[in-house]
Structure 1
């Protein structure tokens, strides 16, 4: 693999891969600033795309930025570049959450584990459809856990009483949201053909998935409160497979690490033919989030809950163009 020339075109392509990352309600809460002189990319969290009701601390915002950072690293390694990353734990929105210095990498330096995930960046999509009851093989679960560990986080697969507890808490949060309404959620759901097909962000109508007729899969009904065409109803998993991303502490630096771990897990899962979606309902309720921890394992704060399984891989959702989120300076 020959190293790419580090210029504006290269950086724009890297950012184009970074913005394929998932984020809460597909709000895409990131900005990039490239400094030609020292070949560094500053990644900023965009407060204009924050969720004041569902994410008052900016935790989910940082997780989304972490996912974008992971994609940027994967794309850089694939291009033969070494991304040297420094992370900030500051909450100040005027400061970058991470800075990536680019340099040409020698062949022996390439992180082939990350570079090998590159093709999955464009194939990973959120799937809000039913999955098969077929469990993920233990060996695959171990590999997915290893991906999270490589980014400084933990990935566990709850079973038994812990899985039942998680599903109960998520259902309570979903019911609460249905009753009280969620302005953040309503803002980012795109309905109607015109808006759904042209908006560069948010959740388009075509990706809402089927309504849940039965089953315990924690699938969020984003169509609630919106006039949308009939999506039909389907039976979802009776025993969904959840994966919990947790960290040692609960601060901005750990949230960024959780986002990188989450995206690394999702890219490998995609390569292995595993569909995925998110179950964030309880994470958006501070009085419920603490209930999600596993007291037996002693794991730290829960940062994200993934639903994994074998089924439709989901449709591609819109992304803003790199030129809309990237600024280049001398």
Structure 2
């Protein structure tokens, strides 16, 4: 059985969900275009929204697009369609990072074990202190299995690993704060005074750790944050997300794994924030590896716990990221 072509409102539904994904500095570096037969979507990386000094090879950009791709898959399932994904389908068109075919009905209503669609709107980065409560092993096991299904390894760190990663993150945060070019680039994404459709609003900055246990990113560089410091957890619960390779396809898989883990965590009431600083410097990123786990490339460091939800961050309008130029739906 072949599904009917996607109607314009369904295309917008898919892209609205995709556009709710997390991205470095909330840059939202993605674009979408329906297939000519309206039975799928082309997913593009928008290099005009890159963060080139902090992310010179585009790794974080493609992780972000991978997260949007996963949201699109979840939204396709909500429409009752089975998403068939091809990564990097056309070498002659490097900005085209994936196609998502939505021509067949979904064989199962809950391919991820539960309905993750509601979590898309609830998922926010929480840069607030967490309470002293570990994520239960049964939930951790689900998160690890979810990442593995997407081709990545989620490793929840023991105390020695947490302290090693925190030290590397502290070092990276210090270096970033003294790099004038990086600080200037980050400040171009701050939206502190008036509403915008992208970037980092004042409400999302979050406090710094009063006791300096958790190195939260200072988006304003050396300038003191407008938010007073608070006491964070003494030993945060951290996890690394690792892929075997370190190519564009691996970055896209890491983004899908990150978002699947994040949505599942959200459904369980677990908050997440990303400690991204150490993956932005080659030497500290290399130091994030656990030699006992064999070869691999750490793509992200996640902080997990229980606490207040983070604030919603602004989103670009669907009409800015969905290209319907020359598209005529044949649905009806």
* Superposed pair shares fold, TM > 0.5: yes
* TM-score of the superposed pair, with normalisation by structure 2: 0.92
CA positional deviation for 1:299: 4.9
Q: Identify the match of residue 206 of structure 1 among 196, 203, 207.
A: 203
The residue aligned with 1:150 is 149
Which one of the candidate residues 275, 280, 283 is aligned to 1:287?
Answer: 283
**Counterpart in the other structure of 1:136:** 135
Q: Report the Cα distance in structure 2 between the residues aligned to 1:288 and 1:86, rounded to whole angstroms.
A: 32
Alpha-carbon shift at residue 114 of structure 1 (Å)? 6.5
CA distance, structure 2, for counterparts of residue 238 and residue 89 of structure 1: 46
Offset at 1:162? 1.9
Evaluate the alpha carbon distance shift between residue 208 and residue 156 of structure 1 in structure 2; reply closer, same or farther with a 3 A threshold.
same
Cα distance change, pair 26–90 in 1 and its aligned pair in 2 (3 A): farther
Map residues 1-330 of structure 1 onto 2, 5 A cutoff.
6-37=6-37, 39-88=39-88, 94-106=94-106, 108-113=107-112, 116-181=115-180, 182=182, 183-192=184-193, 194=194, 198-225=195-222, 230-328=226-324, 329-330=326-327
Distance 2:162 2:93 in 1: 36
- How far residue 5 of structure 1 moved from its aligned partner, in angstroms, is 6.5
1:249-298 CA-to-partner distances (Å, cap 9, x unmatched) read 11000000000000000001111111111101011111221110000111
Which secondary structure does the structure 2 equivalent of 1:259 belong to? helix
* Cα offset, 1:209, TM superposition: 1.1
Deviation string for 1:82-137 (max 9, x for gaps)? 1111101878764410001112415x344442660000000000111101121111
Summarize the Cα distance change of 1:48–1:114 in structure 2 as closer, same or farther, 3 Å threshold: farther
Residues 191, 226 of structure 1: 8 Å contact kept: no
Distance 1:299 1:202 in 2: 35
| Structure 2 contact 152–253 (Cα < 8 Å) conserved | yes
Structure 2 CA distance for aligned equivalents of residues 109 and 53 of structure 1:
43
Q: CA deviation at 1:56?
A: 0.7
Distance 2:273 2:89 in 1: 28
Any conservation in 1 of the 2:89–2:99 contact (CA below 8 Å)? no
CA offset digits 1:41-89 (Å, max 9, x no partner): 1111111111111111110000000000000000110110111111018
Distance in 2, Cα, partners of 1:275 & 1:148: 17
| Residues 1:227 and 1:169: Cα distance change in structure 2 (over 3 Å) | closer
Question: Secondary structure of the residue that 2:235 maps to in structure 1?
Answer: coil
**Where do 5+ consecutive residues of structure 1 fail to align?**
none
Equivalence for 2:330: none
Q: Which runs of 5+ in 2 are unaligned?
A: 328-332
C-alpha change, 1:143 and 1:165, in structure 2 (3 Å) is same
- What is the RMSD of the two structures over their aligned residues, measured on CA atoms? 2.0
Aligned length: 322
